[in-house]
Structure 1
Amino acid sequence: MNAHQTIQPTEDHAQEMDRDIVAKVRDLRLKFPGEAAFIFKDLSFSVLRGEKILLLGPSGSGKSTLLQVLSGIIPLLIEVPIRCTEKTIPSSWGLLFQDPDTQFCMPYVDEELAFVLENLGVSRSQMSWCMKEVLQQVGLQLNELHIPIDSLSQGMKQRLALASVLLSNPEVLFLDEPSALLDPEGRKQIWESIRVIAEDRTLIIVEHRIEEIIDFVDKVVLFDPMGNILGQGEPEYVFQKFHRELQEYGIWYPGVWEDFLESPAGIKLTEPVRSVPVGEAHSSEPILELASFRGMRYGKSVIEVERAEVYPGDFIAVTGPNGAGKSSLLLSLLGLVPSEGSYLLRGTSMDLIKKRKRKIERTVREIGFVFQNPEFQFIADEVYEEIAYSLKGDVLSLQDETKRVANILTQFGLAGLERRHPYQLSLGQKRRLSVAGAAVLGKSVLLLDEPTFGQDAANTFAILQYCEEMRSRGVAIVMVTHEEMIAEFIATHRWVIQGGRLVVQQETRRVSNQQLVSLEAVAEGGRTM
């Protein structure tokens, strides 16, 4: 039977299937208060025991919301009005949220894990062994367990959150982008861990990064932007049958990066740029200059830079494993993490400014910043007001303000969400809102901490196109990313951070291609002379 074929079940078979259904909703209607559009309108969806299902669709199509409905979090804990004719909630389930910070209820790693173990009745003498085993399962290597969760990188937090979920040994696992914040090795470790423990479990997965799981799931359910099911079946069938829709709605699929880079937009985004040879005078002064620079946390150095410079029009991809110090570098450049050594911002010595408040006031004049956790940036109760607040420093009429806010929301795929609370957005939408809030300020430097995580393909490429537009105007982009295609083909430079040190500074293929083009032009000229 083909994956898309259906069989009309007999009454006995239907009853048997009902007994095997672990999660179900029929004729679901849901919309957020104050909004006219439904997220789901008469959606019916069910999950059989033992199934491994991938929910795939554009950002904001309701995938994470569906997990919360199937688990009962909506409306029992999150008071969003819903209506349905039938609903089945698993008797034993665990949910891994998109944002690991929302998962924790204790301040230290061992206390967080102990909280779960105490609820399970595990004796104190067994706890240490259980903690070490589950942390090893998820690839989280810690020298000691009694350390603040806030001291971990977001990727390390994601592993800890997964570990706490696995400790409860749930029958059904709801996984909401568990690998979004992880480096490539971390993603591999997470999914290998899930494969090991998932044999007798039911998995409902929301994930944009599909490379590691495409041969693991047995069914893909494809949603359109309005939350309607376009189709479902085995992965190979869905990707073949709905290839046009995947492209139209900007959903990740195998080979999407290659297709994009060959498109007119991708070609423009990767056009070669010129790099200044070593020893040759640069046409402009550096915006940022670092020498013997160190960022400090809890009195210890977490990032060291012997020497580095950032010039107008640079697009620097900062790469390295989770916990290496990438986010700490950005935070120390903004002044949110104390620093030592020489730091010049447009020629002004930041190390001479002793008071952190004054240092931050100086840096924010030149630097726009996007946190890894987008919720750290939100200060307003509505999406519209979040952007409008960023414009308070500009003298604008109400008409001009409305126009600018509308333009930026449209540019970042947030039109129609003006009155929604930022916390009610999906993680991908939250991320785009945080980038939009920084972008509208028009700073000369943009520090972006994983701006594309949790994004569908369309919004990932839109963010990159915006960055390229800014770079071409002379804005310097410094982006922390785990996406190799960005680091190799779109950025102009790559900085590699390992073990709390900036160990590599190199040009990317984009710059190397320009050098190759120049050499070919010289050779061609020689042949035609």
Structure 2
Amino acid sequence: MSDEDKVYALRCDNFAFAYGDEGEDVVKDVSINLVKGHILLITGPSGAGKTTICRAANGLIPHEFKGKMRGQITVHEKYNSRKYSVSSLSKLVGLLQQDPDTQLFNPSVEEEIVFGACNYGLPANAIRQRTEYLLELTRLVAHRRKNPHNLSGGQQQSCALASILSFEPPILILDEPTSNIDPIGSREVLMLVAQLAREEKRTTLLIEHKLEELVHLVDEMIVIDQGKILYRGTVRSVLEHVEYIDSVGLSVPQTTLLAAQLRKVGWSIDNLPLDVDEAITTLAPLVDHEALKRQPEPPPRRIQHHDENVIVDIRQLTHTYKDGTTALHDLSLKVQRGEFIAILGQNGSGKTTLVKHLNGLLKPTSGSVMVAGLDTRKASIDQMAMTVGYIFQNPDTQICKMKVYDELAFGLKNVGLPAAEVAQRVKLAAEELEITHLLDKNPFLLSMGEKQRIAVASVLAMRPSILILDEPTTGQDFKRAKEIMDLAVRLHDTGQTILVITHDMNLAAQYCDRVVIMADGKIILDAPVREAFQNRAALSASSLHPPQVTMLGRALGYPGAWLTVDEAFVALKNAWIGANHGA
């Protein structure tokens, strides 16, 4: 198809935008031509300008977010975003925002899904059929009567996506649509997006940090940083720059990064693999498989600090919510002081319900929860707040002040610390999370990534004995996610107990020592991390899959489990045919 024959569903011509009257441009002269029926992936570090482009595409900029806009956004080659209202453009452009909670306002999941379709006058029979299809697709059939705000974060994201798909807009703008969804659910959602693009010519602008599931689904990829486009082209051509892209903080496919590192030390690799299957085909002929089988298990990544002192003792815990949903079933768990544990499972498996019992936010329906010698049914809020620090999945549910400084100081003041100590702790926490420059800002006007760091800082300022991170990397690029987890490691090095709920298997593998996998409100596996990621049955039962390098090692005949790219690199380098034969 020649350029003259192409129909552009969305065009950005030298688009630039600065928030407020005196702000600096967060997007700088960006030009994008999105062809009808194509999928464009835009990725980049937090704060790169990705969300600003999304807001401009459906008219939120300049109509709802005020500032200085230059250039032009055109929808379907005739609708100028400056001249058409958000409501007019919303019929053409469906926007899934980064935080789904802000888009949900109906009393039930089913009503949320049908709302847009009814509002735009779709036939009743078509609405019913579409609703049933979307409930099945998003795994929300059992929750159709529930209030969306009572769902898990991932379920809320699925509900918001279904509500947009229900009225069938010709253009979809998806701002990190899978950030709260488990890996298998993420794959299903992204496959659906690709299916709609192919079968229904539904044009899609996709913002994502996670690239592993997208490499074969998108037509074009753009890497943006500091408001400017760094690279654009096919995924394969852009990922030839994988080491640089990794260095700016993006989570690139592990197999692609591994192959690039091996090629750098002499391996004959013409085309970098984009997934595990391609990596097997590319690397298997270059590996001495007998030598690989003899490679030792990687050493422990750090000193283990846990002792025999049990800091969390959960016995036969059952929890039933007021709507009758039993989220936990006769669950028992012990955590020793100083452990670093990942709690994994699909959306709705009970992970968040479990950890909310540790700080008294929820009370057992039956059974008992003891934390640092405190019975959570009897301990005061102040006692629990000083013992257990809880970083919520959605920072908007945690942030309550109109100034970042006041947010960090809030808990400290509530427990009666002197003003001087409050100021000192706020300063140190802000420096740790690199948010000192935000202390005078309104947190509700900041990006999701910035709000997440504020939430982390406010908890760290309390210096609790146990730190619970509920999806702490939501909305973060890989660099920021790594910084948060590196901070957790530093706290763990001082003897602090860390519990992390995450859907990011790579981060769980890299940082955690023990893995607890949940499904249907029960613990189905509790094991050391290497053992856990080799248990295919438990992972599959909980909609999880191990890191790419773990799957690659298994396919190549490595007897253990690689958890990181570095571990795979060392083992493969030592089992390289070229090295062993003097090539």
The two structures have a TM-score, normalised by structure 1, of 0.82
Report the counterpart of residue 338 of structure 2 in structure 1. 313
Distance 1:362 1:20 in 2: 62
Distance 1:388 1:31 in 2: 30
Report the counterpart of residue 286 of structure 1 in structure 2. 310
1:415: how far off? 4.6
2:305/2:495 contact within 8 Å kept: no
Report the counterpart of residue 222 of structure 2 in structure 1. 221
1:264-285 deviation per Cα after TM superposition (whole angstroms, max 9, x unaligned): xxxx996154588xxxxxx452
Distance 2:508 2:462 in 1: 25
Distance 1:309 1:216 in 2: 42
1:370/1:451 contact within 8 Å kept: yes
1:315: how far off? 0.9
1:84 aligns with 2:83: no
1:65-106 deviation per Cα after TM superposition (whole angstroms, max 9, x unaligned): 1110121112223x3213213231455111111111112120
Report the counterpart of residue 453 of structure 1 in structure 2. 474
1:367 aligns with 2:388: yes
1:160-179 equivalence runs, <5 A: 160-179=159-178
Distance 2:300 2:32 in 1: 41
Distance 1:390 1:443, change over 3 A: same
Distance 2:417 2:435 in 1: 22
Secondary structure at the counterpart of residue 358 of structure 2: helix
Distance 1:432 1:485, change over 3 A: same
1:99/1:427 contact within 8 Å kept: yes
Distance 1:270 1:396 in 2: 42
Aligned residues: 477
Distance 2:488 2:230 in 1: 32
Secondary structure at the counterpart of residue 142 of structure 2: coil
Secondary structure at the counterpart of residue 222 of structure 2: strand
Distance 2:369 2:249 in 1: 41
Distance 2:449 2:431 in 1: 15
Distance 1:119 1:300, change over 3 A: closer
2:357/2:376 contact within 8 Å kept: no
Distance 2:192 2:380 in 1: 44
Report the counterpart of residue 491 of structure 1 in structure 2. 512
1:153-232 equivalence runs, <5 A: 153-199=152-198, 200-224=201-225, 226-232=226-232
Deviates more, 1:205-214 or 1:290-299: 290-299
1:240-279 equivalence runs, <5 A: 240=240, 242-255=241-254, 271-274=301-304
1:247: how far off? 3.1
1:296 aligns with 2:317: no
1:438: how far off? 1.3
Report the counterpart of residue 417 of structure 1 in structure 2. 438
Report the counterpart of residue 52 of structure 2 in structure 1. 65
Report the counterpart of residue 484 of structure 2 in structure 1. 463
Secondary structure at the counterpart of residue 326 of structure 2: strand
Q: In structure 1, which of residues 12, 26, 35 is the aligned counterpart of residue 13 of structure 2?
A: 26
Root mean square deviation of aligned Cα:
3.0
Identity over aligned residues, as a percent? 28
1:60/1:425 contact within 8 Å kept: no
Report the counterpart of residue 349 of structure 1 in structure 2. 375
1:25/1:45 contact within 8 Å kept: yes
Distance 1:37 1:420 in 2: 15
Report the counterpart of residue 147 of structure 1 in structure 2. 146
Deviates more, 1:362-371 or 1:483-492: 483-492
Distance 1:127 1:45 in 2: 33
1:117: how far off? 2.6
Distance 1:182 1:120 in 2: 28
Deviates more, 1:250-259 or 1:20-29: 250-259
Distance 1:269 1:28, change over 3 A: farther
Secondary structure at the counterpart of residue 246 of structure 1: helix
Report the counterpart of residue 6 of structure 1 in structure 2. none
Distance 1:132 1:66 in 2: 32
Distance 1:93 1:333, change over 3 A: same
Distance 2:449 2:519 in 1: 28
Secondary structure at the counterpart of residue 102 of structure 1: helix
1:395-419 deviation per Cα after TM superposition (whole angstroms, max 9, x unaligned): 343xx76665454334324353334
Deviates more, 1:401-410 or 1:441-450: 401-410
1:256: how far off? 8.2
Report the counterpart of residue 525 of structure 1 in structure 2. none
Report the counterpart of residue 520 of structure 1 in structure 2. none
1:282-318 deviation per Cα after TM superposition (whole angstroms, max 9, x unaligned): x452222111122331154311353222222111100
Report the counterpart of residue 29 of structure 2 in structure 1. 42
Report the counterpart of residue 291 of structure 2 in structure 1. none
Secondary structure at the counterpart of residue 518 of structure 2: strand
Distance 1:391 1:26, change over 3 A: farther
1:360: how far off? 3.1
Secondary structure at the counterpart of residue 216 of structure 2: coil
Distance 1:88 1:269 in 2: 56
Report the counterpart of residue 114 of structure 2 in structure 1. 114
Distance 2:31 2:11 in 1: 8
The two structures have a TM-score, normalised by structure 2, of 0.75
Deviates more, 1:199-208 or 1:86-95: 86-95
Distance 1:167 1:269 in 2: 51
Distance 1:163 1:151 in 2: 17
1:468-487 equivalence runs, <5 A: 468-487=489-508
1:186-236 deviation per Cα after TM superposition (whole angstroms, max 9, x unaligned): 011111211211121211110011111111112111112x21111211112
Distance 1:316 1:405, change over 3 A: same
1:304/1:502 contact within 8 Å kept: no
1:391-410 equivalence runs, <5 A: 391-392=412-413, 393-397=416-420, 404-410=425-431
1:317/1:486 contact within 8 Å kept: no
2:328/2:521 contact within 8 Å kept: yes
Report the counterpart of residue 553 of structure 2 in structure 1. none
Report the counterpart of residue 410 of structure 2 in structure 1. 389
2:138/2:159 contact within 8 Å kept: no
Q: Which amino acid aligns with 1:93?
A: V
Distance 1:410 1:65 in 2: 27
1:140/1:160 contact within 8 Å kept: no
Distance 1:467 1:454 in 2: 18
Report the counterpart of residue 97 of structure 2 in structure 1. 97
Secondary structure at the counterpart of residue 85 of structure 1: strand
Distance 1:368 1:172, change over 3 A: same
Distance 1:75 1:388, change over 3 A: farther
1:234-245 equivalence runs, <5 A: 234-240=234-240, 242-245=241-244
Report the counterpart of residue 521 of structure 1 in structure 2. none
1:257: how far off? 10
Secondary structure at the counterpart of residue 333 of structure 1: coil
1:377: how far off? 0.8
1:225-257 deviation per Cα after TM superposition (whole angstroms, max 9, x unaligned): x211112111122121x3353133112222289
